[in-house]
Amino acid sequence: MRVTMISMEKKCKKIRTYQLDIDAGYDVKRFGDDCLEMTLEDLFAGNYETDGVCERYEMPYVLMDGFEKEEIYNLLSSAVDPVIPVVLTEHNRSWKVRDLMDEAFREHKWFIVNDLMKELNEKDLSSLDITDKNTIMNAWMALQKEEDVSGYEIPLQEILKKV
């Protein structure tokens, strides 16, 4: 099975997210904003040219195909910097790269906010003012409704510093 990893990192940073042994069968490619309207299937087919400029997204994305679950975990645990991992599936293969990356970003933020809420759940919140308590409640409600929670990450981090 051909194993592919495609990386998009802001401002054409050198691919340093993973310490990869190319001889181990990893096919590593880069793509830029000029590939965002392609389907994932076309991107993984590798028939594209790119300038590699990545301005749209702040965090690096790594798109993978052909990896076993344990191998993905090992690769992600060796990351030098945080990345948003995306795995090619039968379900998303026809999606545009931009749509999948936007969805992966929303999911990434959901997990971050969910983890912050778990931390807050273990704290004594009685000393917080009403504004902070409302922020926590609104974040919890947004998580439950699976709404956009990206605006809660920094406020919740600040609240955690107070308790």
* Predicted pLDDT at 7: 60
Distances (CA, A) of 8 to 17, 55, 131, 155: 10, 10, 38, 28
Assigned token pair, 140 = 């919890």
Residues 69-103: pLDDT tens digits? 887 887 777 766 677 888 889 999 999 999 999 99
Torsion region of 126: left, alpha or beta (phi above 0 gives left; psi -120 to 50 gives alpha): alpha
* Predicted pLDDT at 9: 52
The answer, yes or no, to whether residue 161 has pLDDT greater than 70, is: yes
Question: What pTM was computed for the model?
Answer: 0.77
* Predicted pLDDT at 8: 58
The answer, yes or no, to whether residue 152 has pLDDT greater than 90, is: yes
Question: Residue 8 pairs with which residues in a beta bridge?
Answer: 61
Collect contacts of 38-46 with beta carbons under 8 A, ≥24 apart: 38/96, 38/97, 39/93, 39/94, 39/95, 39/96, 39/97, 40/88, 40/92, 40/93, 40/94, 40/95, 40/96, 40/97, 40/100, 41/93, 41/94, 43/6, 43/97, 44/4, 44/6, 44/88, 46/4
Please provide the average confidence, as pLDDT, over all residues in the chain: 82
What would the mean pLDDT of 40-46 be, rounded to a whole number?
86
* Predicted pLDDT at 6: 61
